[in-house]
C-alpha cells in the first residue's frame, strides 16, 4: 500500500501512516496483541517482548516503557485504559487481570497467578483445545472493561467460556456463558466493549459473531455477519470499529460449522445494531505496509484515527519463531489516519 492510498468508503476513509512508531533502533516488538489510547491520545502498545508496555505520542514519538520485570511470566493479551487513567492488562499465561496506573504502578490483581478454574480445558499439541464447561474466574482471560456505572466485565477466555461481572471493588457479582454455538454460548469470548447505555458487546470469535447483552447478562442481539471478530473499539460519534481476523472458505468453526466464503482480514465500521457502514480492506499482502499480519487488537483516538496491533509470530515463547506465512520484519503496529 502506498503512503497516500486510502482505505474505507464514504465518510470513513483512512490513510496509512508508514513507519509511524519510532521506537529505539535495537528493540523489536514481536507480537503486539493489545493497543489502547489514553485521554491525552497517548498510545499504549501491549507487546510480547522484553518491553511489554510501550508508550508513544500520537505522532509516533517514543515516550517510554514499563513492565519490563515481569513480561516473561505474564503473556500479554489485551489492554484497556479508562477515561480516568486506569490500565487493565489481561495475562493469558498466568490467569490474572491486573490494574495499573498509567505510569505502570500495580494497583491490584484479579485472580491468583497460575491458579486456573476447572473448565476441562487441556491444550494438547496438534489438537484444537476444547472447553468442556463454564466456570468461575479465570482460565486464560482475554480482556476487562469498565462500564459507565463503574462495574467491571471480563471475557474469559481461551480456557473458559464466560463473561464475568464484577463490582467496582473487584467483587464477583455473576458470570454467564457455556461452551457452544447457541444463543448466549461462547467459543472463545475474545474481547468486549460496553456502550454508553450499558450494553455489553462480546466478540465470540470462534463462532464468527458478536453477541450483545444487557448489564446482567440477558441476551439482546447477535451479529452474525462477522469473520472471526477479534476486538471492538467504540468512538464518541456513535460507531464501533470491529477488527476481524477473516477466514477461508471450506474451514470450520470449533463446533463444526462450515464457512462458505473467503473473507480477508478487515475492519468494519458499524452502528450499534451491527449494520456495516463501511469496510476497510487493507493491503491484501499481509507483509506489505498497510497489510494485517494476523490482526489482534484495535484502538481509536479522539480524532477518529485507528491503531492496529498484530501477532505474526508462530511461538509465544522464546525463541519466538516467525509464522512462515509472515515476514518477521512486517509491521506489528500500524496507524490509519481518518481523512474527512
Strand order in the sheet with 295-300: 6-9, 12-17, 333-339, 306-310, 295-300
Burial class (CB in 10 A: 0-12, 13-18, 19+), 238: exposed
**Which residues are 124's β-sheet partners?**
none
Q: Residue 222, Cβ neighbours under 10 Å: how many?
A: 15
Instruction: Examine residue 79 and state whether it is found in any structural domain, yes or no.
Output: yes
Residues composing the chain: 340
Within a domain: 151:
yes
pLDDT tens column, 239-288:
999 999 999 899 888 888 889 889 999 999 999 999 999 999 988 888 88
Judged by phi (left if over 0) then psi (alpha if -120 to 50, else beta), residue 220 lies in: alpha
How do strand 62-66 and strand 76-81 relate by DSSP bridges?
unpaired
Judge whether 173 lies within some domain: yes
Identify the H or E element spanning 72.
Answer: helix 71-74
* 200 in Cβ contact with 214 (< 8 Å): yes
Which is it for strands 266-270 and 240-244: parallel, antiparallel or unpaired?
A: antiparallel
Amino acid 14: pLDDT = 96
**Three-class secondary structure of residue 268 per DSSP:** strand
Q: What pLDDT score was predicted for residue 126? A: 55
Looking up residue 260, the CATH number of its domain turns out to be: 2.120.10.30
CA–CA gap between residue 214 and residue 176 (Å, rounded): 12
The domain of 194 spans 6-339
Q: What angle do CA 326, 72, 316 make, to 5 degrees?
A: 25
Q: Which of 134, 137, 140 is nearest to 153 (CA)?
A: 137
Close Cβ partners of 3 (under 8 Å, ≥ 6 residues apart): 15, 16, 17, 18, 289
CA distance 207 to 240: 20
Indicate whether 317 belongs to any domain.
yes
Tell me the HSE value of 6 on the side-chain side, using a 13 A CA sphere. Answer: 11
Cell 439482546 maps to which residue? 220
With contact defined as beta carbons under 8 Å apart, do 301 and 20 qualify?
Answer: no
Which DSSP string do the residues of 105-151 spell out, in sequence order?
Answer: -EEEEES-TT----S-----TTS-----S--SS-SSEEEEEE-TTS-
User: Which residue's C-alpha cell is 466464503?
Assistant: 261
Q: Is-contact 207 161, C-beta < 8 A?
A: no
**Does residue 318 belong to any structural domain of this protein?**
yes
Q: Which parts of the chain sit beneath pLDDT 70?
A: 1-5, 71-73, 124-128, 314-322
The verdict on residue 1 lying in a domain is no
- Count the domains in the chain: 1
Decide if 256 is inside a domain.
yes
Query: What pLDDT sits at residue 50?
Result: 87
Q: Is 276 helix (H, G, I), strand (E, B) or coil?
A: strand
Q: What is the rounded CA–CA span in Å between residue 235 and residue 301?
A: 8
Contact at 8 Å (CB) between 88 and 154? Answer: no
CB neighbourhood size of 58 (10 A)? 17
Asked if the structure places residue 117 within a domain, the reply is: yes
Burial classification of residue 96, based on how many CB atoms lie within 10 Å of its CB (0-12 exposed, 13-18 middle, 19 or more buried): buried
Largest Cα span, the chain:
51
Given the C-alpha cell 473458559, which residue does it identify? 160
Amino acid at each position: 500500500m502506498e503512503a497516500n492510498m486510502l482505505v474505507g468508503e464514504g465518510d470513513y476513509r483512512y490513510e496509512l501512516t508508514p513507519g509511524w512508531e519510532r521506537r529505539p533502533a535495537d528493540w523489536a516488538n514481536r507480537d503486539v496483541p493489545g493497543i489502547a489510547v489514553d485521554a491525552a491520545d497517548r498510545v499504549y502498545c501491549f507487546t510480547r517482548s522484553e518491553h511489554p508496555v510501550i508508550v508513544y505520542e500520537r505522532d509516533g514519538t517514543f515516550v517510554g516503557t514499563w513492565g519490563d520485570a515481569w513480561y516473561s511470566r505474564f503473556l500479554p493479551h489485551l489492554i484497556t485504559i479508562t477515561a480516568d487513567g486506569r490500565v487493565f492488562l489481561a495475562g493469558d499465561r498466568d490467569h490474572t487481570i491486573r490494574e495499573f496506573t498509567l505510569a505502570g504502578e500495580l494497583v491490584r490483581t484479579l485472580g491468583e497467578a497460575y491458579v486456573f478454574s476447572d473448565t476441562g480445558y487441556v491444550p494438547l499439541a496438534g489438537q484444537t483445545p476444547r472447553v468442556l464447561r463454564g466456570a468461575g474466574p479465570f482460565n486464560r482471560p482475554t480482556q476487562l472493561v469498565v462500564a459507565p456505572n463503574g462495574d467491571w466485565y471480563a471475557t474469559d477466555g481461551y480456557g473458559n467460556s464466560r463473561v464475568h461481572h464484577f463490582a467496582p471493588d473487584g467483587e464477583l457479582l455473576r458470570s454467564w456463558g457455556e461452551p457452544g454455538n447457541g444463543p448466549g454460548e461462547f467459543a472463545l469470548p475474545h474481547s468486549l466493549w460496553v456502550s454508553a447505555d450499558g450494553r455489553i458487546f462480546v466478540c465470540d470469535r470462534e463462532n464468527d459473531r458478536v453477541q450483545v447483552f444487557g448489564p446482567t447478562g440477558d441476551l439482546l442481539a447477535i451479529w452474525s455477519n462477522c469473520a472471526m471478530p477479534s476486538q471492538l473499539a467504540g468512538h464518541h460519534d456513535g460507531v464501533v470499529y470491529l477488527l476481524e481476523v477473516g477466514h477461508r472458505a471450506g474451514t470450520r468453526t470449533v463446533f463444526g460449522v462450515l464457512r462458505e466464503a473467503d473473507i480477508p482480514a478487515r475492519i468494519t465500521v458499524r452502528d450499534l445494531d451491527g449494520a456495516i457502514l463501511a469496510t476497510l480492506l487493507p493491503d491484501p499482502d499481509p507483509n506489505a505496509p498497510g497489510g494485517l499480519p494476523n490482526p489482534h487488537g484495535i484502538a481509536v483516538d479522539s480524532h477518529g484515527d485507528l491503531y492496529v496491533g498484530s501477532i505474526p509470530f508462530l511461538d509465544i515463547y522464546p525463541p519466538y519463531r516467525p509464522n512462515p506465512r509472515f515476514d518477521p520484519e512486517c509491521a506489528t503496529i500500524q496507524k490509519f489516519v481518518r481523512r474527512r
